[in-house]
Amino acid sequence: MPSARRAGSATALENRYTTGVGVGYLWIESDRTTFRTDGGFGWTREQPLIEQPGFKGRFGTANVAALYKQKIGASSLYTAELAGTQNLSSSEDWFGVLKQSLTVSLNKTLALKVGYDMAYRNQPNLIPVDVFDLSTPPVNLGQVSVEAKELDTLFTTSLVITF
């Protein structure tokens, strides 16, 4: 793979620092429904686990986001957040995150929350993978670099306690 593809890639990072400015608009705000969108520009600094030749760890970004909340019945809340980021120094480098959750109140104090997050990066970084010889005892032969997956998913469950 050409190293130019790695300009500002994000998966498998040691650190990522971002800052930004933007504007937002609240389209709907009622007792049961909220819908908001945001847009702006930012600056990102990334430190990958494996830095490749030609890697650009500092770049400007264009950002868009939307938030939707909907009460379902008297005791449930569905939330969806969608955010996208475009690397301004490499038009092929972008990523997006979708976070969804459903919170169900069990009583005035306890609620159960389940969530499903998807983070997509069309140009993932490399990650270090240990290689072992499976003789007895196993011997670590070192590391190889493997491209991370483009899509990361996360399923969460939480018990929410309100005081």
Give 12-64 pLDDT, tens digit per residue. 778 889 999 999 999 999 999 999 999 999 999 988 777 777 778 899 999 99
Residue 8: predicted pLDDT: 41
Q: Which of 53, 49, 43 is nearest to 17 (CA)?
A: 43
Residue 14: both structure tokens together: 């040691």
Domain assignment of residue 123, given as a range = 3-161
Instruction: Return d(Cα 141, Cα 57) in angstroms, integer.
Output: 30
Average pLDDT, the chain: 87
Give the model's pLDDT for residue 22: 97
pTM of the complete model:
0.76
pLDDT band for position 145 (cuts 50, 70, 90): confident
Specify whether the CB–CB gap between 28 and 35 falls below 8 A: yes
pLDDT of residue 111: 95
Residue scoring higher pLDDT (112 or 135): 112
Q: Work out how many domains the chain is built from and give that number.
A: 1
pLDDT digits (tens, 9 = 90+) for 113-132: 999 999 998 877 777 788 88
Mean pLDDT, rounded, for 128-145: 84
Buried b (16+ CB within 10 A) or exposed e, 48-69: beeebeebbbebebbbebbbbb
